Amino acid sequence: MKNSVLRLLGTFSLHTPACRDGIVMGRKGRALIALAALHGDGWVSRRRLTLMLWPDRDEAGARNALRQCLHHVRTALGPQGGELQTQGDLLGLKASSWDIDAWEFLRLARLSDRESLCLAASLFHGELAEDLTLDGEFHQWLCIERERLRTVALGVVSRLAQYPDEDAQHAAAQLLLKLIAADPLDEACYRNLMALHARAGLTAKALRVWERCRTVLRRELDVNPSPQTVEVYEQLISPVRPKSSSRLQAATPEPNARTSPARTTGKLTRESTVPSETDHLLRGWQLFSQYVPHSNVEARRAFEAALRAEPNCAEAHVRIGWTHFFDYVSGWSADSVASLRCAESAAESALSCSPDHATAHSLLGKIRLWQMNHQAALRSALHGLELAPRSAYALFHVADISMWCGELGKAHEYLEQALALDPNDHGVFLTIEGMTQFFAGNLSQARNAVQKAAIRNPNYSWALAALAAIDGESGRVGKARQACGEARVFNRRLSLDFARRVLPIRSVDSRQKLIAAWRVAGMPDEEDCRLN
C-alpha cells in the first residue's frame, strides 16, 4: 500500500501505509476528513469547518477546537499527517497521496464505456459515510452530498441499462439494490429494478420487487405506491399494451414532499433502457445546482442534449430557460438582456409543449419580476403553485417574488413550507429567508439563515451578497467586505448601480436599505465586466 485509502461510500474507514488495520478516529475527525475530501474545489476554509463542526461556539472557541481536532487527526495519521495540507486559511487532501472511493466513483461515472460504469457500480457500497452522524449544518451538508451521489448513481444505472449484456444488467441491478437498501422509500429505484428484471424475462422476480415496494410504503408511510409505479406493475401483468404507453414521462426537476431536487430528477423511466433525455436531465441538474458560471454552461449543454433526444420535452425547455435566467441575474453572459429574452422564449416553448407545466409558469413569474411587472410575476408564480401545491420549489418561487414585492410576512410563510418539504436545499431557500429577515430588520435571524446557505453552497453569489448586506447593516465591516469580495468573484453584476436600477425591489425604503448596507460592505458603484 503506497497511499492512504479512504472509504466514504458505506461505512467510513481509513487505512494508511503505516496502519493497514485501520485508523480509529472520533466523529469530528472523521467529519473533518470527509469535508476535506468532498469539498468542490479540493480545499475547504477553516471558517467553513468551524461553522459546520462547532456551530454553537464563538469564533475563538471554534478556532481553538479546530486546531485541537487537526492535531488529533494528524497524530492519528502518523507519518502521513502531512497529507492533510494547509494553504493559508484553507485545508485540503494531497490528491496524489490518497485513494478515495468517492473520487474514483465520480471519475468513472463520468465515462460512458461499459467497463468503467460497471466499476463505478461496484464502488458504491452504500450511502456516504452512513455511520457518521453529527447534528446541525454538517448533517444537512451530508444529506445534500448523499443526494448528489445518489443522483450520479442513478445516472450510472441509466447508462448501464442501455447495454444488453448480462454483466452490465447485473451491475445495474446490484447498484439499484444498494440504493434501495440505503433508502427503502425511493420508488424510482423499485421501478427501474422491476424493468431490469422484466427485460431479462424474470417477471416473477419483478413482481416480488413490486410487492416489496408496496409493503415498505404501507408500513413506513401508510401510503400506496405512486401512479407511476402502479403503471409499471400493470404493464408487468398485462404485457400487451399500446405502443404509445410504452414508457413513463421523465420526472420534473423539483421536489415534492418526499423527495429532494436531486432525488426527483433521479426518477427514471420504466423501460429497461432509460430514455437518453432523462439521463441528460439528471446530469444537467447536478451541474446547474452548483450555481457557478462554467457549471451553468455545461448544464445547458446537457439540457440541450435532452431536447435533441426528445424535442417535445417541456422539462428540457424550462431547464434551459433557468440557465439563461441565471446568466441574466449573475452576469455570466456578454448580453444580460438577451439572456433574459432567451429565458422567456424557453419558458414559452415549455408551455407550448405542456400548458400546465408548473415550473414553466414559475419561471415566467421570475422573468416578469425582473421586468418590474410585480403583479404579473405573482400571478404566474401562484398559478405554478396551484398546479404543483406540494412542490417545494413552486412554494419558494412565490416566496421569492413576495419578498421582492415587499410582502415579507407572506414570503416567510411560503419559505417555511418550502423548507419543511425540502430541508436540504442547496442554500437558495435559506438565502431568500435571510433577505426576508434582513428587510424586516431581524438581523440575527437573517445572518443565521444566510450563513447556513453559504455553508451549503460556498460559491452561491446571492448568499454571499446577502451576508455582505447583513454584516454591513450590523457594523461588521471586515466580515461584510470579505463576503462582498467573495460574492463578486461569482457575480460580476453586483454593484450599487445594479441595486439602484436592476434589482426588482418594489419598496423604495428597502432598496435604500440594501444600497446603504452594500456601501458599507465596499460594494463598487458600477458593474465590473472584467470579472469572470
Q: Are residues 179 and 115 in the same domain?
A: yes
Q: Are residues 79 and 164 in the same domain?
A: no
How many domains are contained in the chain? Answer: 3
The C-alpha torsion from 495 through 499 and 502 to 506, rounded to 10°, is 170
- For residue 338, the tally of other CB atoms under 10 A from its CB is 13
CATH code of the domain in which 115 resides = 1.25.40
Q: Are residues 12 and 127 in the same domain?
A: no
Rounded Cα distance between 436 and 430, Å, is 10
Cβ atoms of residues 81 and 71 within 8 Å: no
Angle at 373 between CA 370 and CA 376, to 5 degrees: 115
Domain annotation covers residue 327:
no
Q: Are residues 445 and 510 in the same domain?
A: yes
Q: Are residues 203 and 54 in the same domain?
A: no
Domain annotation covers residue 411:
no
pLDDT (tens place) for every residue of the chain, 532 residues total: 678 899 999 999 999 888 877 888 889 999 999 988 887 556 788 888 888 888 888 888 989 999 999 999 888 888 888 888 888 888 888 878 889 999 999 999 988 899 999 999 999 999 899 888 887 778 888 888 888 888 889 889 988 888 888 889 899 999 999 999 988 998 889 998 998 888 888 888 888 999 999 999 999 888 888 888 888 888 887 643 433 333 333 333 333 333 333 333 333 333 333 445 777 787 788 788 878 888 899 899 989 988 988 889 999 999 999 999 999 998 898 888 999 999 999 999 999 999 999 999 999 999 999 999 999 999 999 999 999 998 999 999 999 999 999 999 999 999 999 998 888 777 899 999 999 999 999 999 999 999 888 888 888 899 999 999 999 999 999 999 999 998 998 888 899 999 999 999 999 999 999 999 999 999 999 876 544 4
Q: Are residues 52 and 136 in the same domain?
A: no
Q: Are residues 244 and 143 in the same domain?
A: yes
Cβ atoms of residues 450 and 430 within 8 Å: yes
Residue 507 structural domain:
424-532
Q: Are residues 184 and 121 in the same domain?
A: yes
Q: Are residues 122 and 87 in the same domain?
A: no
98-100/4-7 β-pairing? parallel
Domain annotation covers residue 451:
yes
Q: Are residues 72 and 175 in the same domain?
A: no
Domain annotation covers residue 418:
no
Q: Are residues 73 and 11 in the same domain?
A: yes
Last residue of a domain, one of 50, 72, 100: 100
